[in-house]
Amino acid sequence: MKLKGKVAIVTGGNSGIGAAIVLELARQGANIVIDYRSRPEATEALEKQVAALGDCAIGIRADVSKLADLQMLVDSAVKEFGRIDLMVNNAGVETRTSVLDTTEQQYESVLAINLKSAFFGTQLAARQMILQGGGGCIVNISSVHEDWPMPGNSAYCLSKGGMRMLTRTAGVELGPHHIRVVGVGPGAVATPINEATLEDPQALKKLNAAIPLGRVGTPESIARTVAFLASDEADYITATTLFVDGGLMQQSPGL
């Protein structure tokens, strides 16, 4: 077990990649605060699965775009488990709208949920880690689109581009406190965010064909990467992003 006795917070933790991360961290021995926005029944089911693995998870409903709610998550981890060792800034949404048609409301909500939450999640978790002494780890769940434009998903790309620099800047600033900040950049993964593509056989065939490994990824592959990065096995990795995309970003357009 790579994370025995560690305490983690996972934002957006009751579905998709977040839920897989919760289960993998539990498998590796961590106790977890599961942040969620809707579907309390999914959170309860996860709490039970974590308990069956011999660890403890508590679900907290919060709006991660609000600083006060993020502070509540940190406070809950400290109250329940005494400390925080790992912050996983995972909550994310996308609107699939272009520069030309994105509304002010869409822009603000994507940037707040994806980027503002990661910025202040990093800040508040790091303050607690510094208070405790002994370092810690912050993992930002980004995307191949922190580097790679996705036409028609402009605000999302912007938020992930911001997350790229958050990982790098915070990684440099927090290094002296022995806090590592690492980005994980998934490619196309089978989660609710990609439902429309996954349910359209033609679109799915096209997507699979664009991925060198020939298939969309699983949430579990991303989760195992997070557990590795959070563990002492990754003790010299900080201020960078690890892409987990089956080679998607490097594929050639065949010109």
Catalytic residues: 156
Whether 186 and 223 have beta carbons less than 8 Å apart is answered as: no
Tell me which residue has its CB nearest to ligand BGC: 143
**DSSP designation for 114:** I
Number of residues lying near ligand BGC (CB under 6 A): 9
Q: Taking CB under 6 A as the rule, does residue 150 contact ligand BGC?
A: yes
Q: Which two tokens stand for residue 139?
A: 């993992």
Nearer to ligand BGC by C-beta: 123 or 143?
143
Q: Whole-number minimum distance, CB 150 to ligand BGC, in Å?
A: 6
| From candidates 145, 155, 225, 226, binder to ligand BGC by CB under 6 A | 145
Of 62-70, 74-82, 99-107, 137-145, the segment contacting ligand BGC by CB under 6 A is 137-145
Tell me the torsion sign for CA atoms 145, 148, 154, 155. Answer: positive
How far is Cα 108 from Cα 241, in angstroms, rounded to an integer? Answer: 25
Q: Which of 248, 232, 115 is nearest to 185 (CA)?
A: 248
Q: Is 164 in the site for ligand BGC (CB under 6 A)?
A: no
Any idea which residue has 């557990």 for tokens?
A: 227
What track of x and - describes contact with ligand BGC for positions 179 through 218 (by CB under 6 A)? --------xx----xx------------------------
> b/e string for 129-164 if b means 16 or more Cβ within 10 A?
beeeeeebbbbbbbbbbbebeeebbbbbbbbbbbbb
Considering beta carbons, is residue 90 or 143 the nearer one to ligand BGC? 143
Nearest to 10 by CA among 40, 41, 35, 46: 35
Q: Given the rule CB under 6 A, which of 37-45, 71-79, 130-138, 140-148 is the region that contacts ligand BGC?
A: 140-148
Burial class of residue 198 (count of CB atoms within 10 Å of its CB; 0-12, 13-18, 19+): middle
Q: How far is the CB of 152 from ligand BGC (least distance, A)?
A: 10
Nearer to ligand BGC, 106 or 231 (CB): 106
Residue with tokens 């999914």: 42
Whether residue 124 contacts residue 173, with contact meaning beta carbons closer than 8 Å, is answered with: no
Q: Which of 31, 90, 143, 167 binds ligand BGC (CB under 6 A)?
A: 143
DSSP class of residue 34 equals E
The contact pattern for ligand BGC, residues 69-98, with x = CB under 6 A and - = no contact, is -------------------------x----
Between 54 and 98, name the residue whose CB sits nearer to ligand BGC. 98
Both tokens assigned to 23: 């289960």
Q: How far is the CB of 28 from ligand BGC (least distance, A)?
A: 25
Q: Which stretch binds ligand BGC (CB under 6 A): 12-20, 74-82, 144-152, 221-229?
A: 144-152
Residues that bind ligand BGC (CB under 6 A): 94, 143-145, 150, 187-188, 193-194
